[in-house]
Amino acid sequence: MSTSTPDLDHLLQVALDTVAQAAQIAQDPARREGLDVRTKSGRNDLVTAVDRAVEDFVADRLQARTGLPLLGEEGHSIDSFQGLVWVLDPVDGTMNFVETRRDYAVSLALCEDGVPLVGVVADVVGGHVYSAVRGQGASCDGEPLGALGQGPARTDCVIITDLKEMQALPRLAQCLVESRGHRRYGSAALECVEVACGRAGAFVHMWVAPWDIAAAALICQEAGAVFTRLDGTPLDVRHKGSVLVAPPRTHAELLQRLMIDPS
């Protein structure tokens, strides 16, 4: 960590203001007439003109107000994570944005040496904004989130995951059979927030990027969830990889069943 102490309350307000304006850009009906949908790594990995417009707006806005570098999914890069760095997913859930027009988010985090200090996730269509400051708890629309506590047994909750995880992890598929069922929303940030709010018991994913989870990780941790890699090792948001998010009891039971118990 650097020796300076950032004004986190001020930076949270900057993030909230910026994300609110970014959400307005994403919802602008006029922009849907020229989405310019393109593929990136595969046919289901999309980027649109709105993704790029939101990222450019946020980058310019944060540069003007804070002078800090930004890592964005759609092209803004950094030399390193040393010091204070903004991390942005301009439209988390681009497939939803294009196809269903709901369940997508603007996700913005401020990290110091790779550790999230401020996190904001806006559910654009749902109209809710989730936020957190390290050591100060998590909120939804400015109201504190209730403490998660230990969480339910893994058999007594809904687990958020995807088909590719079920196919790759037979034990996870069995956990789903034994659970109350599974859901998938298509935005990692919003899926993590479901856990933070106690509306889902766990989120399991094999491959997330820094911009997917930097803000959501802090919100979950401040709400009392355990946020690790799939094998239980600590999660470093600077690197892509797997994620297992759940309240302490639920996390421990899933980790035991997925990684430790005999097959």
**Given a cut of 80, is residue 120 above it in pLDDT?**
yes
Is the distance from CB of 211 to CB of 92 less than 8 angstroms? Answer: yes
Q: What is the DSSP string of 58-113?
A: HHHHHHHHH---EEETTS---S-S-SEEEEEEEEETHHHHHHTS-S-EEEEEEEET
Could you list the residues known to form a binding site, using ranges: 73, 89, 92, 212
Does one domain contain both 178 and 74? no
Token output for 107: 């996700």
Does one domain contain both 52 and 111? yes
Domain boundary among 144, 174, 190: 144
Does one domain contain both 15 and 128? yes
What integer pLDDT is reported at residue 47 of this predicted model? Answer: 62
Higher pLDDT, 47 or 160: 160
Burial status of residue 229 (CB atoms within 10 A of its CB: 0-12, 13-18, 19 or more): middle
- Percent of the chain whose pLDDT exceeds 90: 81
Does one domain contain both 186 and 128? no
What integer pLDDT is reported at residue 126 of this predicted model? Answer: 96
User: Average pLDDT in the 103-124 region?
Assistant: 97
Is the distance from CB of 220 to CB of 245 less than 8 angstroms? Answer: yes
- Residue 94 within any structural domain of the chain: yes
What integer pLDDT is reported at residue 49 of this predicted model? Answer: 84
- Residue 179 within any structural domain of the chain: yes
**Given a cut of 50, is residue 2 above it in pLDDT?**
no
Does one domain contain both 77 and 126? yes
What integer pLDDT is reported at residue 73 of this predicted model? Answer: 85
Does one domain contain both 93 and 169? no
Q: Mean pLDDT across the chain, nearest whole number?
A: 92
**Given a cut of 90, is residue 256 above it in pLDDT?**
yes
Does one domain contain both 201 and 114? no
Residue 111 lies in domain = 8-144
pLDDT band with cut points at 50, 70 and 90 for residue 1: very low
**Given a cut of 70, is residue 45 above it in pLDDT?**
no
Could you list the residues known to form a binding site for Mg(2+), using ranges: 73, 89, 92, 212
Looking at 24-33, 67-76, 193-202, 210-219, which range is the least confident one?
A: 24-33
Residue 242's CATH number: 3.40.190.80
- Residue 1 within any structural domain of the chain: no
Does one domain contain both 225 and 135? no
3-state SS class at 232: coil
Q: How many domains does the chain have?
A: 2
Domain boundary among 118, 144, 170: 144
Among the listed residues 190, 118, 180, the one whose alpha carbon sits nearest the alpha carbon of residue 152: 180
Burial status of residue 31 (CB atoms within 10 A of its CB: 0-12, 13-18, 19 or more): middle
Q: Which residues contact 108 (CB under 8 A, 6 or more apart)?
A: 15, 18, 19, 22, 58, 86, 87, 88, 89, 119, 120, 121, 215
CA distance 120 to 129: 7
Which residues are paired to 72 by β-bridges? 88
Residue 54's CATH number: 3.30.540.10
- CA within 13 Å, CB half, 128: 14
Higher pLDDT, 97 or 84: 84
CA distance 229 to 214: 13
- Residue 150 within any structural domain of the chain: no
**Given a cut of 80, is residue 37 above it in pLDDT?**
no
Does one domain contain both 124 and 164? no
Does one domain contain both 137 and 40? yes
What integer pLDDT is reported at residue 41 of this predicted model? Answer: 59
Does one domain contain both 100 and 163? no
Does one domain contain both 213 and 95? no
**Given a cut of 80, is residue 192 above it in pLDDT?**
yes
